[in-house]
Amino acid sequence: MKRVSDILASKGHDIWSVTPSTSVFDALRLMAEKRIGAVLVLNDGALVGLFSERDYARKIILVGKSSKDTPVSEIMSRELICVEPTQATADCMRLMTDNRIRHLPVRGGGKLLGIVTIGDVVKAIIADQGQEIEQLQHYITGRV
């Protein structure tokens, strides 16, 4: 079974972040450049929130705010669920499903190590299932 550390080893430990005072517009520009759906919000290196496309759609567009005049701190998600590198991908899927979230910051040893997305987790689970199916087929057919 794959773990969060396996996902980070595969995808990398890149952390794209903004500060609480960054405008929503500038955060969106960074997200578009990096082709990502969310950025972590760091204040002096400390994780204080997460800003996602979902936050933008629900808290800017639908309420008629200006993305150029609104700081990320005004609309970011503050109550974050984080995972550790040793956690299983199935745990991540359960957390994401139960809490209706798509991004999990990864912390270990008191440090921010990266972020895993729902896409990362699904990909890892599918890979695990593929290996399991192959092992079962070899067992059934007597091939080793």
pTM: 0.84
Residues 24-57 have pLDDT tens digits of: 999 999 999 999 999 999 999 999 999 999 999 9
Residue 52's CB is within 10 A of a number of other CB atoms, namely: 20
Q: Which tokens belong to 41?
A: 């919000």
Cα dihedral across residues 119, 99, 83, 57: positive or negative = positive
pLDDT band at 144 (very low <50, low <70, confident <90, very high): low
Do 88 and 96 contact (CB within 8 A), yes or no? no
What pLDDT sits at residue 128? 72
Q: CATH fold of 4-141, please?
A: CBS-domain (3.10.580)
* Contacts for 142 with CB less than 8 Å, ≥ 6 apart: none
